[in-house]
Chains A and B, each alone.
Chain A
Amino acid sequence: MARLAYGLAALVAVGAAALGLHGMFGGAFTLRVGWLVPLGGLQLTLDPLAGFFLLVIAVGVAPASVYAIGSAGGARRGLGAYLVFVVSMCLVPLAANMMTFAIAWELMSLASYLLVLHERESRESLRAGWVYAVMTHAGLACLLAGMMLLGAWTGSSEFADWRAAAPGLGGGARSVAFVLLALGFAGKAGVIPLHVWLPLAHPAAPSHVSALMSGVMIKLGVYGLLRASFDWLGAGPPWWGVAVLIVGAVSSVIGVLYALVEHDLKKLLAFHSIENIGIILIGIGAGLLYQGAGLEALALLGVVAALYHTLNHAAFKALLFLGAGAVVHATGTRNIEEMGGLIKRMPWTAACFLVGSAAISALPPLNGFVSEWLTFLALLQNTHLARPSLSLAFALGIAGLALTGGLAMACFVKAFGITFLALPRSEAAARAHEAPPSMRIAMVLLAVTCVALGLGPTWVVPALATVAGALLGNTTPVAFGDWLTLRVSDGFATGSALAIAAALGVALVALPLGLRVAGASRRRRAYETWGCGRIGQTARMEYTATAFANPFKRVFDFLYRPTKKLDIDFHPESRFFVERIEYENPTRSIFDDWLYRPVLDGLSGVARAARAIQSGSANLYLAYILAVLLIMLVLA
């Protein structure tokens, strides 16, 4: 039963991929079923952007479903919600009017909410579900408000009509709609400071669902942002772009910084999703700014970079979550401080996780590098804007992106190194076992996707350029070099992933051969790790994840605001003998303390004040009704 359902989901994904590719290369259709949905009927339209996001969904859903066959076993809990989740995600990009969109969007949120509550016995899950429900519905409220305003102003609930009528709206109206829609979509995408649900909800769900939530679902927020800013509203004032660019840069840096001090493997990955959404937003922000300035080719480059990173992130984040799921499955813990040495017991998982780690750290020749490179190229050409004041915003975006790249590399050295290398740090890690075949197949599929997307930008970029061109309404096609070399902006930069990969390959083959020709000794002897002659090596001598992240904790202490708690029990006879040391060095979230705490306190304060008028007496309530009626009569 469970296998059948997950198999069905995988089939849906294959169908979505086919449909998506069809849409990306110009296939289009519109489906209307008037009676099915109130207020305008069900309306689905396939266009290149929708096609691209269907493909992104398929890239995540197909392996995740194959993986679930192995990881979920015969468990039936969450089966229905999973299927609804997958189908509603596919419907979101296709929706072509307000009601269809809202229903698909809400179904997706509800289904994922149920999946977050998978382990509903644990308090942690309940809290995660609650925060997720509140945040996602606050976002929905913003979205609906924005959409209803647009609907009221344009007199239609169909997206096609908005596209036609929006340029005619006043600047203020369009900005209000933009802010509301952007807030709603950014909440779903997990942009800072609306990210609080993400590190709670993603780890709580089963791993194949986490992979989908992090790899795919939050991308639909990106989809919405692209749709709203480029399609529905058209080119806006520069501050839209600046806002998106800065928010993206802040999200990427802060997301990766929180990931660095996080030792729960799935939470760490969730924070990296915030970072990667930030990188995508940087591309979109650059695109918006160039579009506003009429620089078509550069706007296209920014959007292509964002789309490429969207696809890449779906691949490597799904891969990493599936790998993390296999590790959690094998060790029974999410805390990387209790892992270690898994590369020997789980070689497949380790190899796949390594590919994912290198890809997300933007290391050549994998896919993350290509999209970050394109984003850099979009940012670096801002001198064409001829507005020096904007250059500084771009410089901050560039610096943020560069810092993110370095920090992500540092974080994945930690994530991979502490989890998979050295000696196991716990009994469970020492007894770990490799994942079953279906889980391995899913991970290998995604690892291959990462490599292929890294080696084939010369094929992927032109395809994405057609999608972006359709979205931006570009008329002139942009050339991107030949099959071997990507030439961006008439030789501003050139790059060839294939040539680099080939050169690396040749060097890797030539070096051992060269050593042999040079007559190098080939003797190898195994002996214990050098520890200054100390006797015996245990996992307690290893560097921990906490220690590894400590330099960052000290450098960025204004953000982490670490608190230190040292508790020592001395021997009753002498203070020179210690019986027990307890050391805690947790970090605090400035967003919880400075944003959410005051807002929530304010809300509950207002609610407490409102309690004063709730006495429970029917007479008093009748008096209220009378008073309100009187006031309304006077006002009318």
Chain B
Amino acid sequence: MIAAIAVAVAQVIVVGAGAPLLVGVLRTLKARLVGRRGPSPWQPYADLRKLLAKEVVVSTTTSWIFRATPYVLAATMLVASLIVPVFLARPPLAFPGDVILLMYLFLLGTFFLALAGLDAGSAFGGMGSSREVAVAALAEPTIIVAVFALAMRAETIDLARVVERFSREPLLAANPAHLLAFAAFFIVMLAETGRLPVDNPATHLELTMIHEAMVLEYSGRYLALVEWASAMKLCLFMTLLANLFFPWGAGGLTGPAAIPLGVLVLAGKLVLLVIALAVLETTVAKLRLFRVPELLAGSFALAILSVMAVVLV
């Protein structure tokens, strides 16, 4: 029992502590790709530490929703990191949920963040909320149908068992459905975590913002929590992508060396994904907002094709 709790805590720590580094590496890589030296990969930690030391300025228009949201958001991500298989296929506290729970936990965070965006009564916040929920709502069917394609072959939607099954029978993954589902999931990850071409995380122009517009009102420790939570969301999505579609390493490890080894394997997979993301983000432009639904519809078509591939192949 104690070991189980220790592993669970380790998992939360890996995600919570590793997420800013992931974002830092991504930013450094993107800077290098456009010929800049760029910030150090450790920059996000410095940003968070500084934010924690600052005071908080809260709008007089806001209610308790605005003040509670950063905590709710960070809490949902921490709980989500208990559910995702991070370095072990079967985290000891994995019983509470599956991928559907995970997606609805993310929706819980989005729900509160969107309310907080409306709470200050600023037009920017409302605009961000409206766009964020639109993207989140349209991304939802793709996720679930892509998961359905995986579940059809793994015969379970329990994340741990999917990872175990695929690492035990690698041939299951040798299916066009796997690739299609991966592509669909990857596009949804871009939309859900506010990356290019859906949202530009580095934009300073309020009118083009989605995620950033909602958090314009946050400062100090609240902003730190919100930024940390969105880093964790990116990290969780990438981990999920890495372990669901390339489960090698995460599934088979046992013994005392499993955790450090698992973390290393995960780090390797994440670095590959981060490189892919950085290359993508430097080579594509942001889509017009009203073109985004077309992208998401495209990802949904990929997911449906993936289901059909499972049925037909």
| Chain A–chain B contact at Cβ < 8 A | yes
- Interface of A toward B, CB cutoff 8 Å: 340-341, 343-344, 350, 354, 358, 361-364, 369, 372-373, 376-377, 380, 383, 388, 391-392, 395, 398-403, 405-407, 409-410, 412-413, 416-418, 420-423, 484-485, 491-496, 499-500, 503-504, 507-508, 511-512, 515, 518-521, 523-531, 537, 539, 541-543, 547-552, 554-555
Q: Is the CB of B56 closer than 8 A to any CB of chain A?
A: yes
Minimum C-beta distance from A1 to chain B (A): 40
- Which of A383, A402, A413, A541 has a CB less than 8 Å from the CB of B143? A402
Residues of A within 8 A of B148 (CB): 380, 395, 398
Output the nearest chain B residue to A492 by Cβ-Cβ distance: B156
Contact residue among A399, A500, A524, A550 (Cβ-Cβ distance under 8 Å from B79): A500
Residues of A within 8 A of B289 (CB): 551
Q: How close is A532's CB to chain B, nearest CB, in angstroms? A: 8
Of chain A, the residue at the smallest CB distance from B60 is A526
B234 within 8 A of A: no
Q: Which of these, B53, B65, B75, contacts A520 with CB under 8 Å?
A: B53
B130 CB-CB contact with A under 8 Å: yes
Q: Which residues of A contact B302 (CB under 8 A)?
A: none
Return the chain B residue nearest A495 by Cβ: B97
The listed residue (B55, B63, B120) touching A529 by CB distance below 8 A is B120
With both beta carbons as reference points, the residue of chain A lying nearest to B63 in the complex is identified as A343
Known: A405-B107, A551-B289; 18 extra A-B contacts, CB below 8 A, are A395-B145, A399-B145, A402-B143, A403-B137, A409-B107, A409-B110, A422-B121, A492-B157, A508-B72, A511-B74, A520-B221, A524-B57, A525-B57, A529-B60, A530-B59, A530-B217, A542-B122, A543-B123
A422 to B126, CA, bound (A): 10
Asked if residues A521 and B144 are in contact (CB atoms below 8 Å), the reply is no
* Cβ-defined contact, A403 with B140, below 8 A: yes
Neighbouring B residues of A363 by C-beta, 8 Å = 104, 107-108, 111
Are B52 and A503 touching (Cβ within 8 A)? Answer: no
- Are A373 and B100 in touch, CB under 8 angstroms? yes
- The residues in B between 203 and 225 inclusive whose CB is less than 8 angstroms from any CB of A are 216-217, 220-221, 224-225
Checking A341, A507, A527 against B59 with a beta-carbon cut-off of 8 angstroms, the contacting residue is: A527
Asked whether, in the complex, the Cβ of B60 is within 8 Å of the Cβ of A494, the reply is no
For the complex of A and B, the 10 pairs showing the least CB-CB separation, nearest first, are A543-B126, A406-B137, A422-B121, A406-B140, A417-B118, A507-B75, A410-B133, A523-B55, A402-B144, A520-B52
Are the C-beta atoms of B121 and A542 separated by less than 8 Å?
A: yes
Task: Say yes or no: A406 contacts B139, CB within 8 Å.
Answer: yes
Using C-beta atoms within 8 Å of the partner chain, give the interface range for chain B: 35 or more
Cβ contacts under 8 Å, A542 to chain B: 121-123, 126
27 A–B contacts from the bound complex (CB under 8 Å): A358-B108, A362-B107, A364-B101, A376-B100, A380-B148, A380-B151, A380-B157, A383-B155, A405-B107, A407-B137, A409-B110, A409-B136, A409-B137, A413-B115, A413-B133, A422-B121, A499-B96, A508-B71, A511-B75, A521-B54, A521-B56, A521-B220, A524-B55, A529-B61, A529-B122, A530-B59, A541-B121
Q: Does B119 contact A (CB under 8 A)?
A: yes
Choose among A340, A354, A422, A521 the residue that contacts B221 (Cβ–Cβ < 8 A).
A521
Q: Which of A340, A539, A551 contacts B131 (CB 8 A)?
A: A551
Q: What separation, in Å, do the CA atoms of A499 and B93 have in the docked complex?
A: 9
Total contacts A-B at CB 8 Å: 268
- Indicate if the CB atoms of A421 and B119 lie closer than 8 Å: yes
Contact of A422 among B61, B74, B96, B300 (CB under 8 A): B61
The answer to whether A413 and B129 have CB atoms under 8 Å apart is yes
Q: In the docked arrangement, what's the CA distance between A400 and B55, Å?
A: 45
Query: B262 at interface (Cβ–Cβ under 8 A)?
Result: no
- The answer to whether A521 touches B52, judged by C-beta atoms less than 8 angstroms apart, is yes
Are A523 and B63 CB-contacts (below 8 A) given A364-B105, A491-B161, A541-B121?
no
Closest to A405 in B: B140
Say yes or no: is B141 at the interface (Cβ < 8 Å to chain A).
yes
Q: Which residues of B contact A527 (CB under 8 A)?
A: 57-60
- In the bound complex, how far is the Cα of B58 from the Cα of A537, in angstroms? 15
- Between B52, B111, B114, B293, the greatest number of chain A beta carbons within 10 A of the residue's beta carbon is seen for B111
Nearest residue, chain A, Cβ from B136: A406
Q: Which residues of A contact B235 (CB under 8 A)?
A: none
Q: How far is the CA of A283 from the CA of B311 in the complex (A)?
A: 22
Q: Does A391 lie within 8 Å of B311, measured CB to CB? A: yes
Q: Which residues of A are found within 8 Å of B143, using beta-carbon distances? A: 402
Query: What mask results when residues 164 to 208 of chain B are scored 1 for a CB within 8 Å of chain A, else 0?
Result: 000000000000000000000000000000000000000000000
- B76–A550 contact, CB under 8 A? no
**Max chain B C-beta neighbours (<10 A), residue from A373, A494, A499:** A494
How far in angstroms is the closest Cβ of chain A from B304?
Answer: 6
Q: In the complex, which residues of chain B have a beta carbon less than 8 angstroms from the beta carbon of A354?
A: 65
How distant is A398 from chain B, measured CB to nearest CB, in Å?
6
Q: B137 near A500 (CB under 8 angstroms)?
A: no
CA gap between A368 and B18 in the complex, in Å? 33
By a CB distance below 8 angstroms, the chain B residues around A503 are 78-79, 82, 96
Closest to B64 in A: A343
Q: Given B61, B63, B220, which contacts A537 in the complex, CB threshold below 8 Å?
A: B61
A555 and B293 within 8 A (CB):
yes
Contacts of B60 in A (CB 8 A): 526-529
Q: Which residues of A contact B157 (CB under 8 A)?
A: 377, 380, 492-493
Chain B proximity of A68: nearest CB distance (Å) = 29
Beta-carbon contact of A402 and B140 below 8 Å = yes
Give CA–CA (A543, B131) in the complex, Å.
12
Chain B residues with CB below 8 A from A523, complex form: 55-56, 220
Q: Which residue of A lies closest to B153 (CB)?
A: A383
A511-B74, A525-B56, A530-B59 known; A495 vs B107 contact (CB < 8 Å) = no
B98: Cβ under 8 A from any A Cβ: yes
Question: From A412, which residue of chain B is reached at the shortest CB distance?
Answer: B111
- Considering only CB atoms, which chain B residue lies closest to A365 in the complex? B108
Identity of the chain B residue whose Cβ is nearest the Cβ of A515 in the assembled complex: B221
B157 to A, closest residue via Cβ:
A493
A407 to chain B: closest residue by CB: B137
Q: Which residues of B contact A554 (CB under 8 A)?
A: 290
Task: Check A417–B115 contact: CB distance below 8 A.
Answer: yes
Is B152 at the interface (CB under 8 A from chain A)? yes
Q: Mark B248-275, 1 if CB is under 8 A from A, else 0.
A: 0000000000000000000000000000
